[in-house]
A and B are shown apart, each in its own frame.
Chain A
Amino acid sequence: MTVDTMKQIETEKMVINFGPSHPATHGTLRIILELDGEKVLKATPEIGYLHSGFEKLGEHLDYNQYITITDRMNYLSPLCNNVAYALSAEKLMDIEVPKRAQYIRVLMCELSRIADHLLAVGMQAVDLGAMTVFLYGFRLREDIYDLFEMATGTRLTTSYTRVGGLMRDLPEGFDKAVLQLLPNVVNVVDDIETLLNKNRIWHQRTKGVGVITKEDAISYGISGPQARASGIDWDIREKEPYSRYDDFDFDVIIGLNGDVFDRYLVRMEEIRQSIKICYQTLDKMPEGEVNIDADSGYILPPMDEVYNSIEGLIYHFENIMPNRGMEPPIGEAYVPTESPNGELGFYIVSDGTRTPYRVRTRPPSLINYSIFSKIIEGHMIADVVAILGSLNIIAGELDR
């Protein structure tokens, strides 16, 4: 039934509460919907159900300790958060990390992007009734988790970066494992596209739904695949390259209509571009250290030195003792990065002590979500989950 025919049926206005514990909210969103029949007249999102004081906590933890907190922000792609935070801290302290570390960061970010987009598409599909896509996507996600576990020791909360480098180098055989995985990614992406791209139900549920115009996207500060689906040619990886993204060759994917279907297409195509970048990082991966010199005072010396030499032990304690540790200059820094959800950056203000004075996250989820009440107006109630899924709101990052 179209919206026009709905107009002829007179119904009373109804207010329903959606969330904060609802299967399709993937977290803790709450929306108060005003309905006329099945048509949404007004939607008022209410957020903050997962507000855990990340930014307050950042003022009490030192620069390296806070990396563990960034994991728990966007928990679909924690490595991107780690990298974004480390980049800001390094800019503040004027550190240039070795080339190998930068390449590893790119590789990890792109693997995270694949995992994030797969889950985003999978969850969106599951909300619209296509369970298979979720299962396919999650099976591959498990394989990517295995890679993360190999490199970082954990599946989800990776804390892989350090200010001035990485927790450790890639383990032996990691490149082979990645090479083994990547063809699988292509297969799964092909499978998902076969299931959805020409699926009539998928088209009807997603085409023309939740259109974000270019002007709205700029006014609402939308970034990432959501903005690119609306035709904004802005990918921070290409336009403001960080961590040597300019060494790699990839295409920026732009949509035309800005609807749910375009956002899905952009995500799927970005996975393919990420695969391309992964191959290039492995090809070009330089040898060498992954950390800057321990003498700089910013990085912990290798364990071997700590146990076997007095200098190493002194450096180690200098770094971890209270009232000691790294001494960044007074100032502030912000590095924008392209996380799977959009522009992610940490705005760090330092007062010269070992803990940051203020750590602000530019949360793409919060800013992308603010447009929701505008684009849902006039749609049917079933479109709420379609649009929510396509915006890919992560509650941890939304509320912090």
Chain B
Amino acid sequence: MDRREIKSNFLTTTVESAVNWARKNSLWPMPFGTACCGVELMAVLAARSDIARFGAEAIRFSPRQSDLLIVAGRITIKMMPVLQRIYQQMPEPKWVISMGACASSGGVFDTYSVIQGIDQFIPVDIYIPGCPPRPEGILDGLIKLQKLIEKEKFSDYSLPNSS
């Protein structure tokens, strides 16, 4: 194999960026749709917005098979333990999108039973504003998350005892 052939057939990169590239383009979302946002999430999956263009169309309703938790809708005091359980069941690496005003801050529901922002109790990576967000907004949130993943380092995932 001569030099020229090597030049046109090989690509040099770091393992890190190759892995991140693969991860960001094949997110498997677990839609935790509880309310109105769930309907807009359906709209993103359907023909017009088509989330498949961003590699995230493989919806998995089992937390053990997915790496992106999309919390779409208000989370109540009865639902919060369920959400935490589902989050804990997801394997690493995992990311969380808090979609819409209700999941992010309680939205208009400042009442006794609505959690005023899920980020008080589980880690959240991306917040999507809107009540509910438009499909374009959801796609924008997804792209933002992809950019986050792009920059991740393996050392971020150090095991608790190693650092």
Contacts and interface: CB of A to CB of B under 8 A. Distances in A.
Interface in A38-85: 48-53, 56-57, 68-69, 71-72, 75-76
Interface stretch (A15-23, A170-178, A202-210, A332-340): A15-23
Interface residues of B, number: 31
B33 A27 contact: yes
A155 interface: yes
Contact of A21 (B32, B39, B42, B113): B32
A157 interface: yes
A22 B32 CA distance: 9
Interface string B29-65: 0001111101110110011100000000000010000
B94 interface: no
B136 to A, nearest CB: 11
Interface in B88-135: 108-114, 131-132, 134
Interface stretch (B10-18, B71-79, B142-150, B151-159): B71-79
A138 B33 contact: no
A48 B112 CA distance: 13
Nearest to A55: B111
B19 interface: no
Interface string A150-188: 000001110000000000000000000000000000000
A56 B113 CA distance: 10
Given A53-B112, A57-B109, A138 B42 contact: yes
Contact of A50 (B43, B46, B79): B79
A399 B48 CA distance: 31
Interface in A253-296: none
A22 B78 CA distance: 16
A156 B112 contact: no
Contacts of A49: 34, 76, 78-79, 82
A21 B82 contact: yes
A156 B108 contact: no
A75 B132 CA distance: 10
B46 A142 contact: yes
Contact of B46 (A26, A56, A75, A135): A135
Contacts of B32: 21
A13 interface: no
B108 A138 contact: no
A376 interface: no
A28 B33 CA distance: 8
A23 B42 CA distance: 12
10 contacts: A22-B61, A23-B61, A49-B78, A50-B79, A52-B113, A53-B114, A56-B111, A68-B108, A138-B43, A395-B34
Interface of A: 20-23, 26-28, 48-53, 56-57, 68-69, 71-72, 75-76, 119, 134-135, 138-139, 141-142, 145, 155-157, 395-396, 399
